[in-house]
Amino acid sequence: MSTTTKILVADDDQDMLDMLDSLLTKAGYTVIRAENGLEAVEKTRKELPALVMLDIHMPEMDGLKACKEIKSSQFTKSVPVIMLTIKGSMSQIQRAISYGAKTYLTKPASPEEILKVVKSILS
């Protein structure tokens, strides 16, 4: 697998961001970090990652709005999005899917589950 495969991870929880960064870096991906939805949208436009992982609950712009922005832009609409959620509210998940998210992971997900989902989307 190419070490240039970029994954953008957006989460306002520093521990979660560190865990995902470490896990994905060890798996051979290049990780781009964002701490809110606005930053995630800007970095997605700038970096054009192979995949975006968005926490639903973030400051400045939540993951749902960020997903909608990413999927409605001509330049980033083809970038797959995985939503991350703690509560797993079905209405929020359904809304994310309707905006174009590929799937979701409920936190805390096991490292094996995270990598399995990431690899299946990128393959």
Question: What is the set of domains in the chain, with CATH numbers?
Answer: 6-122 (3.40.50.2300)
pLDDT given for residue 2 in this prediction? 44
Q: Which of 57, 118, 53 minimizes the C-alpha distance to 83? A: 53
CA distance 89 to 51: 23
Q: Which residues pair with 10 in a beta bridge?
A: 34, 54
Q: Which of 107, 117, 102 minimizes the C-alpha distance to 27? A: 117
pLDDT given for residue 69 in this prediction? 97
pLDDT in tens, 90-106: 888 899 999 999 999 98
Which portions of the chain are predicted below pLDDT 70? 1-3, 88
Q: Does 108 sit behind a cis peptide bond, omega within 30 degrees of 0 on the bond before it?
A: yes
Task: Confirm if 10 and 40 have CB atoms less than 8 A apart.
Answer: yes
Which DSSP string do the residues of 41-81 spell out, in sequence order?
Answer: HHHHHHH--SEEEEESS-SSS-HHHHHHHHHHSTTTTTS-E
Task: Confirm if 24 and 9 have CB atoms less than 8 A apart.
Answer: yes
